[in-house]
A and B are shown apart, each in its own frame.
Chain A
Amino acid sequence: MTDTDDKALLKQLRVEQPRFQGIVSGHRACLGCGEALATRLVVEACGPDIMIANATGCLEIFTTPWPESAWRVPWLHSLFENTGAIAAGMEAALKAQGKSTKVLAFAGDGGTFDIGFQALSGMLERGHDVLYVCFDNEAYMNTGIQRSGSTPHAAMTTTSPPGKVRMGKRHLKKDIISIVAAHHIPYAATASVAYPSDIRQKVRRAMAIEGPTFLVIHSPCPLGWGHDGSLSIEVARLAVTSGLMPLIELERGELTGAMPIRTPHPVSDYLKLQKRFAHLFADDPKAREELVHLQALADYNIEKFALHSLGDDPQDTDGADTVTRGGMRYA
C-alpha cells in the first residue's frame, strides 16, 4: 500500500464515519437560523459526554416541543435567567458524584447580556467547570424581535423602531466579552457561525480547560435581521470582515488571540443586506451620521485588536474558510 492509498483510505474513512450529533434534524428552527447551526457545531465538537443547561429562548422552543426532542444528550431547560446557576448546580452534583461529564450552558443574548447576567457572573466568579455558550443574535427573537443589551447601535427592533426623531437603538451593544473576561476566567472567546472550524477549535480548547469558559457566537437571525435565510453565512462573515464583530480570545482576562481580517469591508456592505439597518440608507443627515458612527466603531475594533492582516496568515478571515478547512466532516 502506498502513501497515496493510505491517504485516500483515510479520507474515505473520514467521509464515511458518522459524525456524533447531539442535536438532530427535525427541529423547528427557521430556514437559515444561525443559532441552530452554531448549536450543532458546538455540540458536535463536544461529543456525547456532556450535560446541557439551556435558557428559555428560540433554541429551547424549537428543539423541544413536547413530546418531541431534537437532543441526544442530557438537556434541561429551567428558566430564562438562571442558566448559569443551573449549570453550576449540575457541575457541583457531578463533582460530588465523582463524574467527569462536562456541563454546558446555552443561552441567547437576552439570557446572557441581560436577564441571566447575574447568574452568569456568579457562576464565573465561583469557578465552576462549565462551558457557557451565548448564541448572540442581537435581540429578543423568540418574543418577536425586541431590543436587548446586545442589539447593535442604530438597529431597528420592535422596541427600538426608527421614526421621525429616532434612528433605531439609541445605545451601544454591551461589551459582554470584556465584562466576562474581567472575571479573569481561564478562557473567553468570540466566534461567528461563518467560521465553523474556528468554532470547533474554540470549543475544543474550552472543553480541555477545567474551570469556567465562555464563548459568544455571533448567529444571524434571518427573521429578526431582515435578510434571506440563504444569506446567513454571508451576513455573519461580513460582520467579522467589517470589524464590527472581532473574533478574539482572552485568557485570564488578557487578549491572546484575534482572527486577522485580510480584506476589511466597509460596514455598509454588512448593513445594507439587512432590513434592520434599512433606515440608515435613507436620504437623511441623521442616517448618514449613524453610518459614520458605525464605521467608526468597526475601525476602532480593527485598530484596537490589530485585526488588519498582511494577507499571509492562514488563520485569517479568508484562510479560515469553511471549505478549505474541512467543513462538515473534518473537524
Chain B
Amino acid sequence: MPQALEGSQAIARTVALCRPQVVAAYPITPQTHIVENIAKLVADGKLDCEYVSVESEFSAASVVLGAAAAGSRAYTASASQGILLMSEVLYNIAGMRIPMVMTCANRAISAPLSIWNDQQDSMSVRDAGWIQLYCADNQEAVDTTIQAYRIAERTELPVMVCVDGFTLTHTLEPIELPGQDEVDSFLPPYAFARALDPARPLSMGTLVSPDHYPEARHSHHHALLKAQQEIIDADLDWAGVSGRGYGGLLRIDGGDTAEIGILTLGSVMGTLRDARSEHPGRDAVKLIQLRSFRPFPIEALQQACQGLKHLVVLERALSPGAGGIVGSEVRAAMSELRDAPMIHNYAIGLGGRDVPLDLYQTVLDMVASGGINRFSILDADLEKLPPEDR
C-alpha cells in the first residue's frame, strides 16, 4: 500500500529498515531532513543504533569509517560542501575497501553559493573509488538504498546513493516502503571479514611503498569493475522480493528502432519519461538512465547505444574548461563502436534551475537542426551576462 512520503522521510525509514548500528552525520541542506528523521526514529526507540552527531562532515565520514572497520553497519549522508569537506576521508574509506552506504542529497557547489540541486558534488568525488548510483525518483531511492548495503558488503566497497536535492529529497511522492521481513530476507546481518578484533589483530591503513602501491590500485579498480555484476544481481534479487527492478546498471525506455537516444542520470529522467510518454514520436527516441556512474558500465552502454544515430547526454555538472563530465566518458565509450552515434552534450538545471517538460522537445529540435554540440550549458541565458562574458 503506497504512502505519501517526503523523499527524505522515505530514505530515513529505509535506512532504519537496513538496521545500521552506527549513524554519524552533520547537517547540511538539503540532506537535513534525512538525518533529522533518523534521529527521531532513534529517539522514539524505533531504531536501535548509535547516533553520533559530529562536529563536521569530515568527522561524520571518519566516524562511519571507524565504526565499519570495527565491525558495525554504518550510514551517513551529506551534500555539496559537506561532500567536498569529507572528500579526503571518502578516498580513504574506499582505498581501505570499507563497506558502507551514504546518501548524497545532490546540491551545487559554492561559489557562487547555491543551496539548490545539481550534481557537481558527487561528480567531484567520482574518482574516490566509491560505487555511485543515481536515482530517478524516490521509490528508486528507497530500493537502491537497500540494494546498496548488499552491494557494499559483498564487494567490500562503499556505495554512494545519489538523490537530487529538493527535487527528490523534499518532494512528496507515493512510496511503497518494504516490510522489515522483506529487507531482512534480502540483507543478512553485517559481517566484515577484516573487522578489527583483539582476538585477531589486524593493522589497517599501513604505509605502502612503490613496491606494492600499483597492485593496490589495480585491485581497487578491478573490484569496482567486478561490482557491475553485484549491482545487476542486487537489482534482480531485490525485484524478486519487492517486485520492483530498475535495470541494474542502466534503465532503458524505448526499443531497438529508435534513432535518437537521450542519456541522463538522476531525477531529470523522470521529467523525460513523462514528456516522452505524451509525445507522438516516442518510438523514435530511446531514454537511457545511467544508474551506475561508478563503476562506469562501458559494455552495457555500448550495447544500449547500438544503432543510434544521435545520443544526447544531459548532465547536471561540468568540468569547467573541459565540458561535460558524463558526456566525455560516454563519448570515449562510444568511440569503440563501428557506427558510433553523434554525441550532443548539454549541462542543464545547474544550481537548481528548473528543468521543464519541454526540455524533451528542445533537445529533439536541437538534434533535428543538424550540426553537433560538443558541450554547452543548455539553459544559460546569455543575455544576463555582460557581452565580454558571453
Interface residues of A (CB under 8 A from B): 48-51, 53-54, 60-61, 63-67, 69, 71-79, 81-82, 84-97, 101, 118-119, 121-122, 125-126
Contacts and interface: CB of A to CB of B under 8 A. Distances in A.
A88 B63 CA distance: 6
A85 B60 CA distance: 8
Contacts, number: 158
Given A96-B21, A122-B59, A86 B66 contact: yes
Interface of B: 21-22, 24, 49-50, 52-56, 58-60, 62-72, 74, 88-89, 92, 96, 196-198, 200-209, 212
Q: Rank and list the top 4 A-B pairs by shortest CB-CB distance, nearest first.
A: A89-B66, A85-B62, A122-B55, A93-B72
A67 B204 contact: no
Given A82-B89, A86-B62, A88-B66, A73 B198 contact: yes
Contact of A79 (B62, B68, B208): B62
B72 A88 contact: no
B198 A93 contact: no
Given A89-B62, A93-B66, A97-B72, 7 more contacts: A67-B206, A75-B196, A85-B54, A89-B63, A89-B64, A93-B21, A119-B56
A286 B201 CA distance: 53
Q: Determine which residue in B58, B63, B65, B88 has the highest number of CB atoms from chain A within 10 A of its CB, and name it.
A: B63
Contacts of A77: 204-206
A64 B69 contact: no
B203 A78 contact: no
Contact of B198 (A48, A53, A54, A84): A48
A87 B205 CA distance: 14
Nearest to A86: B66
28 contacts: A51-B70, A64-B207, A66-B209, A67-B206, A73-B201, A74-B197, A74-B200, A74-B202, A75-B196, A75-B204, A76-B203, A78-B62, A78-B65, A78-B205, A79-B62, A79-B88, A82-B89, A85-B66, A86-B62, A88-B54, A89-B70, A90-B196, A95-B50, A97-B72, A119-B58, A119-B59, A121-B55, A122-B59
Nearest to A67: B212
A121 B54 CA distance: 10
Nearest to A74: B196
B191 to A, nearest CB: 12
Contacts of B64: 89
Contacts of A67: 206, 212
A89 B52 contact: yes
A82 B59 contact: yes
B65 A94 contact: no
A95 B204 CA distance: 21
Contact of B50 (A63, A81, A93, A101): A93
